[in-house]
Chain A
Amino acid sequence: MAAIARAWGLLLLLLLLPWLAHGSSIKSVPELESRMYASLAGFPCVRWLNLTGELGCANPGHGAVSAPILRMGDALDSPATVLVPAESFEEFVDRFGDDKNVVGVLVENGSQAPGFGASDDARFPQAEFAPYENQSWVWNPFGSGMMHRRLNFPVFFLSSPENIELARRLASQNVEKGSKRPANVVEFNDVMQTTKTGTPTTESCLGELSCLPLGGYSVMSTFPPVNVSHPTVKPVVLAMASVDSATFFRDVAPGADSPMSGVIALLAAVDALSHVPDFDSFLKRLVFLVFTGEARGYLGSRQFLAQLKKGAFADYGLTSIHQILEVGSVGQASEATFFVHKQATAAAVDTQQIIDALYLSASSTDSTVKLANEDNPGIPPSSLMTFVHNDPTVAGVVIEEFDTAFTNKYYNSVDDNSSNVNLPSLVVAASLVARSLVLLASDNNLRFDSPIFESIQVNMSLVEEMVNCFFGTSPGMRCSLVESLMTASHDVANHYVGVFQADPSVSPNSMPEVIDDTTRFVWNFLADRTALPREDLHEKCTLVCKNPDEVCVGATQSQLGQCRVSSTSSCILAGKMISFHFSQLSNRSGCHTG
């Protein structure tokens, strides 16, 4: 009878107890098996590597681990899986993170208390990239830094109420029984390690091919489109935003306010600008950039800059940057007030032109723009930091909803979802951006009371739809706005940058599964809005167009796309986390039209 010594569970499969039998009869052996196991779907915390070592969570060995389930607060005198409420997770890790009896942790989704610890990132996110000395400035007062810790056990996030209820019931049963068998056991079979031992840093694991590099596609679009064969050279105004977020749990990174609100505002601004006639006659060219990988070491912006310096964008008439306007977190501005952040070292005249354009736009849109507090050490964590590193005099500003520190309590947190942004803030931000860009492109030759200026209207329903598409669950990315341009692979958009596994030489649109849905949507949206006006006869296409100036826009599973003249491309950035060395990757990068 010793054979029945231990009871095990499976997968995040729990071992079933008599109460689950309902006293009713079992009709077949498969039904018996289904009563023995239950699967608990959860979102994992994964193992990350950077230059200096490991972060995140993993099984200590190479096999699956399992242990009986208990609740936080129960006596931990034998190996156990602990069920921890989200609010107490940090405290739990502080007290029991090194306890050998913690085999794994299940975190219950609760509404995170919006206080200290609500954000998973550090108090100065990515401080090592700051182009100024003061790296102890607290930009993120709610940050716990949890996502930068190294844990030696698996952690899963339970989001659905049914799973949480089940886990709680089984844990309390274990406690009632004491240590008597049979016990309810949780097995974590998501083994998260580098495939070879002894490769704890990016250098070693990429060299040994025992891990995958983070990477993805950023989208670049010029407005109006350039003639690729002989591009005219004009001073370039860069309007940029970033699209990726990072939290303790890789797959739950909605990033609504930070940074997606910037993307939404930028896209809505592009939509408004697309109705402005004669953009070709303006003195400067606009280039829209949506980066990914920013939350994990500014991968997108750094790769972009590296490519720019090598002359990769000469075909687009892009060899140097005149001015930069970055749209940061703009989803929860209070009283329609936005703050302009700039580096003290920025070129005075060109930067002031941007700021003046913003002031002018604010006065015409019933909002307020203020310069950020002088006591700030510099610009907040943003893609602009990369450009400032490259050239401290670059004329660039970041628009944010906050002044001296983030007002977003859920920066890089699982709770940064659609309830963390509001429509009025997004719409006003989009108007600001649109009008400022027009002023900058026209090099102040446009009077603010000109009819063109007044005609720039942001489509409010577009903004609302984007919020529902990016942060909703149903229909989520199957909403009509997205479906009109592309077919998404998943219903729910997650904004984790992803690993880069594709062949860099292949055009990403030919393998839609390689690019994540949000990036693909941004590409299609920008291509559609920045393209030359539609004529009646457009060549239909599925992936590529014969004319090098044209791209295939809007190809979905149910309809063919159209070849439109647009200079929109997706650029690869593949990188190691927190690494300044691009030499290994320089031959793997490039931009593709389409």
Chain B
Amino acid sequence: MGLVAGFGYFLIALGPALTIFGSSVAPKPFLILTVLASALVWLASLNIAAIVWRAFLPGPSWVFLLILTTSVALQEAFRLLYWHLYLKIEKYLNVLATKLSKPQCNYLDRLEIALASGVGHGLAHAVFFGLSIIAPAFGPATYYTSSCKQMPLFLVSALSSLAFFLLHTFSMVIAFNAYTYDNISQKLFVPIMHLGAALLTLVNLLPNGCTAGVPLVFLCTALTMAYGGKIVWHNLGPHSLHHGYLHSPQSGSSL
């Protein structure tokens, strides 16, 4: 039973990740590299947050609010950094493309890279926060916390990992679009949603909180996915033919 349960939780947490990876990322080697690079960048950000906060833990419960807020802020700062890093890379890619008489990066490429970066971010989150907790589930026993008698701890952890994976993946798409078109509301949407989802996980601490906390986080995820989908559809869908995906947007220009 233990192995079945363990793999079950693993697939709950990372099933969609594997699917997205397999269908959208794997066919393009550059995107695989992007996933790796992104994951490393986000792992670095989490490490920095962890190093800083290790000194203050264990502590009282209100400390969680502080940890979450500062960690989210740090990650959003890294996102901005990542965007600038991406611009540099795109510039070099375009130079290389010109040399090889190949077409330059267009908007679709940018979005694909955004998706892959988001996958990297989500994977880093899942590994950091999800897999290590799910590991004991491969044994014969399970565990229920006192505040959540409805679901095992492992299920809550797996579902959270799933929600955050999807959240991070599509946040990056929205963010890239936001920075490309300098759209304030979109730029604010991502950090606010990220922070909101992070703070909603605190609901799990309340007695029977997991029955509300987990669905609420999924709500944030759903909103992010919907918004991201709307953006992509708007920019690349049939009504946007006049843009054409062959068009290479200049950084910072708004159309």
Partner-B contacts on A (CB < 8 A): 1-10, 13, 15-19, 21-23, 25, 27, 29, 32-33, 35-37, 66, 182, 185, 187
Q: Which residues of A are found within 8 Å of B136, using beta-carbon distances?
A: 29, 32-33, 36
Q: Which residues of B are found within 8 Å of A29, using beta-carbon distances?
A: 132-133, 135-136
User: Which chain B residue has the least Cβ–Cβ distance from A1?
Assistant: B155
A32, B155: Cβ atoms closer than 8 Å: no
Q: Which residues of B are found within 8 Å of A21, using beta-carbon distances?
A: 145-146
B146, A10: Cβ atoms closer than 8 Å: no
User: Which chain A residue has the least Cβ–Cβ distance from B149?
Assistant: A18
Q: Which residues of B are found within 8 Å of A36, using beta-carbon distances?
A: 136, 139, 141-143
Q: Which residues of A are found within 8 Å of B4, using beta-carbon distances?
A: 3
A32, B153: Cβ atoms closer than 8 Å: yes
Contact of A7 among B9, B132, B142, B145 (CB under 8 A): B142
Interface residues of B in 131-171 (CB under 8 A from A): 132-133, 135-136, 139-147, 149, 152-155
- Complex CA–CA separation, A37 to B140 (angstroms): 10
How many A-B residue pairs lie within 8 Å, measured between CB atoms?
A: 74
Known: A3-B4, A6-B1, A29-B135. A182 touches B140 (CB 8 A): no
Other A-B pairs beyond A1-B155, A187-B140, 19, CB < 8 Å: A2-B8, A3-B1, A3-B6, A4-B5, A4-B142, A7-B140, A9-B141, A10-B140, A15-B141, A16-B141, A16-B143, A18-B149, A21-B145, A21-B146, A23-B147, A29-B132, A29-B135, A32-B153, A36-B143
Give min CB distance, B146 to chain A, whole Å. Answer: 5
Known: A1-B155, A32-B153, A36-B139. A182 touches B144 (CB 8 A): yes
Nearest first, the 8 closest Cβ-Cβ pairs linking A and B are A8-B140, A3-B8, A3-B5, A36-B141, A18-B146, A23-B146, A33-B136, A15-B141
A4, B139: Cβ atoms closer than 8 Å: no
A32, B133: Cβ atoms closer than 8 Å: yes
Contact of A25 among B58, B133, B139, B140 (CB under 8 A): B58
- Complex CA–CA separation, A182 to B155 (angstroms): 14
Known: A9-B140, A10-B139, A16-B141. A4 touches B147 (CB 8 A): no
Known: A4-B152, A29-B132. A17 touches B144 (CB 8 A): yes
Whether a CB of chain A sits under 8 angstroms from the CB of B2 is yes
- Complex CA–CA separation, A33 to B5 (angstroms): 15
- Complex CA–CA separation, A421 to B213 (angstroms): 65
Contact of A27 among B9, B58, B139, B140 (CB under 8 A): B58
Q: Which residues of A are found within 8 Å of B155, using beta-carbon distances?
A: 1, 4
- Complex CA–CA separation, A39 to B142 (angstroms): 16
A10, B145: Cβ atoms closer than 8 Å: no
Residue from the set B7, B58, B144 with the largest chain A CB neighbour count within 10 Å: B144
Interface residues of B in 102-143 (CB under 8 A from A): 132-133, 135-136, 139-143
Give min CB distance, A29 to chain B, whole Å. Answer: 6
Q: Which residues of B are found within 8 Å of A3, using beta-carbon distances?
A: 1, 4-9
B1, A8: Cβ atoms closer than 8 Å: yes
Q: Which residues of B are found within 8 Å of A19, using beta-carbon distances?
A: 146
Residue from the set A2, A4, A10, A185 with the largest chain B CB neighbour count within 10 Å: A4
Contact of A8 among B2, B58, B145, B154 (CB under 8 A): B2
Q: Which residues of B are found within 8 Å of A32, using beta-carbon distances?
A: 133, 136, 143, 153
Q: Which residues of A are found within 8 Å of B9, using beta-carbon distances?
A: 3
- Complex CA–CA separation, A384 to B145 (angstroms): 64
Give min CB distance, A184 to chain B, whole Å. Answer: 10
- Complex CA–CA separation, A3 to B4 (angstroms): 6
Give min CB distance, B50 to chain A, whole Å. Answer: 13
- Complex CA–CA separation, A182 to B143 (angstroms): 9
Q: Which residues of A are found within 8 Å of B154, using beta-carbon distances?
A: 4
A8, B153: Cβ atoms closer than 8 Å: no
- Complex CA–CA separation, A29 to B135 (angstroms): 8
Q: Which residues of A are found within 8 Å of B141, using beta-carbon distances?
A: 7-10, 13, 15-16, 36-37, 185
Contact of B142 among A22, A25, A182, A187 (CB under 8 A): A182
Q: Mark B1-23, 1 if CB is under 8 A from A, else 0.
A: 11011111100000000000000
Q: Which residues of B are found within 8 Å of A13, using beta-carbon distances?
A: 141
User: Which chain A residue has the least Cβ–Cβ distance from B158?
Assistant: A3
A18, B140: Cβ atoms closer than 8 Å: no
Q: Which residues of B are found within 8 Å of A33, using beta-carbon distances?
A: 136, 139
- Complex CA–CA separation, A10 to B2 (angstroms): 12
29 residue pairs from A and B, CB less than 8 Å apart: A1-B8, A2-B8, A3-B4, A3-B6, A4-B5, A4-B152, A4-B154, A5-B5, A6-B1, A7-B140, A7-B141, A8-B1, A8-B139, A9-B140, A10-B141, A13-B141, A16-B143, A17-B144, A18-B144, A18-B145, A23-B147, A29-B135, A33-B136, A33-B139, A36-B136, A36-B143, A37-B139, A182-B142, A185-B141
Residue from the set A3, A7, A18, A21 with the largest chain B CB neighbour count within 10 Å: A3
- Complex CA–CA separation, A25 to B205 (angstroms): 10
Give min CB distance, B239 to chain A, whole Å. Answer: 41
- Complex CA–CA separation, A292 to B145 (angstroms): 53
User: Which chain A residue has the least Cβ–Cβ distance from B136?
Assistant: A33
Q: Which residues of A are found within 8 Å of B144, using beta-carbon distances?
A: 17-18, 182
- Complex CA–CA separation, A33 to B141 (angstroms): 9
User: Which chain B residue has the least Cβ–Cβ distance from A15?
Assistant: B141
User: Which chain B residue has the least Cβ–Cβ distance from A184?
Assistant: B141
- Complex CA–CA separation, A562 to B22 (angstroms): 78
